[in-house]
A and B are shown apart, each in its own frame.
Chain A
C-alpha cells in the first residue's frame, strides 16, 4: 500500500498534523511518506504551493535533515587536540541546560561515549560539543567533517547545574573541562550572578574559549603550567589568592581533570566554601542502567549519569574515581593506536 501526497489526511487543513518532534500522521503510520513537520509545527508540504516530484524530493531531504540526521553543522579546531562541533539535534536542543550531557556513537559499531553539552540553540535545534582527542572514538569523531552525520546522539542526560540563590561564584576550569565550565559561567552571568572565572592550561597553544570566558565573567584569571599564557601556576594558586584577598564566594564550581578538581576541593574545604565538581566517568547507557559510572560521595554509591554529573566536591572520593577512570587504559591505548594507524593508512 502506497500513500501519495493526495492521501495526506491533513492536506487542506491547518490543524496539528503530527507532533513537533516526530513525523506526521501518514509518515508515522505508513513509513512511506516522508513529508515531515518542520520546527514551527508545519508540514513542509504546506509550505509549498504545488506538489511536484522535485519538491517532494526536496521535502524528503529537508525532513530527514531536520529530524533524523545528527549532522555535523560546524566543525572548528580550538587547539591541536580539542575540537568543537555543532550537531543538528532538535530533540536534545529543546531541553538542554548547562551541566547536562549527551551520549553519542560515531558509527554503527561505535562505542557510546558521554560528552558534556558545551552550548545549545533551541531556535536552530543545534547542540555544541567540545571534545579532546583522547582515544579511538574521539579520534574517529575528529575525522568526521561538516555534512557528515553521527550514528546516534541522545540526551539531554543528567541533572542541570543548580543556579538558584547564587550571588557570587568562582568557576574553576582546567584544560578541555573549560568547554563545560563555559556554558555554566555564561548562564550564571546571564542570571546576574557575579562570576569569577579561573581557567588553567598546560601551555599557550592549548588555551581555549578565552574571549568567551572574558565576556561571561567580571573577573577572569588565566593560568598556565609554564607561564606562556597568563600567570604561571595552578588554578588552585589563583583561587587561593582570590579567597585570601577577601573574595567571598557562595559557591565554587570546578570542572576539569580529576586531579585538579581534587585539589580545588581540598583547598575550598579548608576555607569552607561550598564546592561542586562535575564528574565525567566511563558510562554506557547514561540512564542509570549499567552502574558503570558509579562513584562514592559521602560514603554512598552514586551514579554520575542520573544523580550527577555534579556532586558536592567535598564529599567525592576522587582517588577511587581516578582508579575507575583508568580501568580500560591498556585497551583504550591499544584502540587509539589502531585508530590512528588506520587514519594514517587512509591518508
Chain B
C-alpha cells in the first residue's frame, strides 16, 4: 500500500542563520527511513510520466521501487544505467521543472521527492566500501575529451566503459569544470566531484590538467599528430557577459565567474588563503539565475549584507526554486523590477553605489517571459562596495578560433547535430559549448549521446 501523505518528507538542512556563516553543505540528505518512506509515496505509474521529464530518461519508478524495498544497491544500478553523475544531479538538477513536474502525486499535493531520493541513493552508494572497478578490455581506439565538466565527464565515462582509450584535457589545475570552480561547496561538496573523477580514473581515463586546448595543443594536432580518432568538445560556456554600463570596470566589480572561482577553486573563503576575495560590507548581485543565487549566498557567508537585483519579478526568476528559497531564508534581500544603468565610484576608483532604473512588466517577449520595460523617471540608488555581474556566460571562442572547419553560431555556440557531430569529421560537441549556459543534466545527457555516436563512428572506421 503506497504512502498516501500529500506532503513529501522534508530533507534535513542546516538552520538558515547557522549555515549563512559557513561553507558546509546546506542540505543534509534523507536518512534510510525517510528515503524508504518517501519512496513509498510513488505510485509506480505504468506510463512513467516522470521519466519523460528527465533529460536522460532515468527509469525513475524502477529505482524508487527498489528504494522502497531497501535495495539501495539495485536502485543505484538502475540510475547509473542512464546517469553518470547521480550524486551531482541529485543535488543540482532543477527537478521541479523536470521529473517532479510530471509526477502524478503532484496533482493533489506534493510530487514524490525524486531528486532527494536520487541523492540519497548516490550518497548511500558512495558511503559503501569501494569495490575495485572492472577495467574494460581495451579496444585500441583513442578518443580525446576537451573539458572535464559534466558533459566531458559523462562522455569520457561512457567511452571508457566501452574500452576506449580516453584522455580528458582540462585547462585549469583541477578537473570538474563548473562543478569545481562554479557551484559552491555548500551546494555541491567538492569531495563528491573528486570522487566521480576518481571513478573515471579507476576506469583508465587519463586526465591531463593544465592543458589549454587551442593554446597548449590544438584539435587539429590531437587528431593528426597524436592519433585521437575522435574528439569531444565539452568546453562549456565560460566567458562572462557584462552589461556594458558605465562603471563596470571599477574596483569591487566582479563577474560571477571570477567571484565564484576565487571562492570555490582557489578557496579564498578559507582563512590564510593565498587568493584574496572582497565581498565588501554590502554586495549587490545582478541577475536571477542559479549562478546569481550561488554568488549571493557566498557573499553572505563572507559577511556582506546582500542584495539581488533582477529586472523581472520573482515569478520569472530562472534559478531553481530550492535555491531561491534557501537564499531568502539566509537573509538575501531581493530587489525585483530593478535594472542597473550605472555603477558609481568613490574618489579612489571603488564602487560606491549602483544606479538602477525601475521597471514594470509588459507583454511576453520571445522567451515567453513578460518583458520588463522602464518606468520613466523612476530610479533608485543602492549603496554597495561590491557588485557581482551574473547575467550569463557564453562559449569561449578559443577552440573555434584554433580549429579548422569548425562551424559556430553567431553568438559563439558550436553547431552540432542531434548526436553531437559538428561540421568537422570525427569532432563532436555537447553541453554549454553547444547550447549556451544550461544545466548540468542537459550537458551530461549531451555527453552521453555524443559518446554513443563516437562509438559508432570509431567502430565503422
Residues of A within 8 A of B (CB): 1, 16, 19-23, 25, 28-31, 91-92, 95, 105, 109-112, 136-137, 151-157, 284-292, 294-296, 301, 306, 320, 323-324, 326-328, 331-332, 335
Other CB < 8 Å A-B pairs besides A136-B274, A292-B254, 9 of them? A21-B226, A31-B201, A112-B275, A154-B212, A285-B261, A288-B239, A288-B397, A301-B242, A306-B398
Q: Counting CB contacts under 8 A, is B266 at the interface? A: yes
Q: What residues of chain B lie closer than 8 Å to A294, measured between beta carbons?
A: 242, 249
A284 pairs with B173, CB closer than 8 A: no
Chain B nearest CB from A25 CB (Å) reads 7
Q: Could you say which of B172, B204, B225, B254 contacts A30, with CB atoms under 8 Å apart?
A: B204
Q: Counting CB contacts under 8 A, is B138 at the interface? A: yes
Q: Which residue of A lies closest to B255 (CB)?
A: A291
What are 15 A-B pairs at a CB distance below 8 A?
A22-B167, A25-B138, A109-B267, A110-B274, A112-B275, A152-B173, A287-B398, A288-B239, A290-B258, A291-B240, A291-B254, A294-B242, A323-B348, A324-B251, A335-B274
Q: Counting CB contacts under 8 A, is B282 at the interface? A: no
A328 to B348, CA, bound (A): 13
A19 to B208, CA, bound (A): 13
A59 to B204, CA, bound (A): 21
B261 pairs with A289, CB closer than 8 A: yes
Q: Counting CB contacts under 8 A, is B44 at the interface? A: no
- Known A291-B258, A328-B276; judge A95-B215 contact (CB<8 A): yes
Chain B nearest CB from A3 CB (Å) reads 11
Q: Could you say which of A19, A111, A331 contacts B266, with CB atoms under 8 Å apart?
A: A111
- Known A154-B212, A323-B348, A323-B349; judge A290-B206 contact (CB<8 A): no
A105 to B266, CA, bound (A): 11
A91 to B273, CA, bound (A): 29
A92 to B396, CA, bound (A): 21
A287 pairs with B249, CB closer than 8 A: no
How would you classify the secondary structure of chain B's contact residues: helix, strand, loop or mixed? Answer: loop
Q: What residues of chain B lie closer than 8 Å to A296, measured between beta carbons?
A: 249
Chain B nearest CB from A43 CB (Å) reads 14
A110 to B252, CA, bound (A): 23
Q: What residues of chain B lie closer than 8 Å to A291, measured between beta carbons?
A: 240, 242, 254-255, 257-258
Q: What residues of chain A lie closer than 8 Å to B273, measured between beta carbons?
A: 109, 111
B249 pairs with A301, CB closer than 8 A: yes
Chain A nearest CB from B383 CB (Å) reads 19
Q: Counting CB contacts under 8 A, is B227 at the interface? A: yes
Interface centre among A23, A105, A155, A285, by most chain B C-beta atoms within 10 angstroms, is A285
Q: What residues of chain B lie closer than 8 Å to A306, measured between beta carbons?
A: 397-398
Q: Which residue of A lies closest to B239 (CB)?
A: A288
Q: Counting CB contacts under 8 A, is B248 at the interface? A: yes
Q: Which residue of B lies closest to A293 (CB)?
A: B258
Q: What residues of chain B lie closer than 8 Å to A105, measured between beta carbons?
A: 173
A154 pairs with B165, CB closer than 8 A: no
Against A, the Cβ 8 Å flags (1 = close, 0 = not) of B209-244 are 111100111000000011100000000001110101
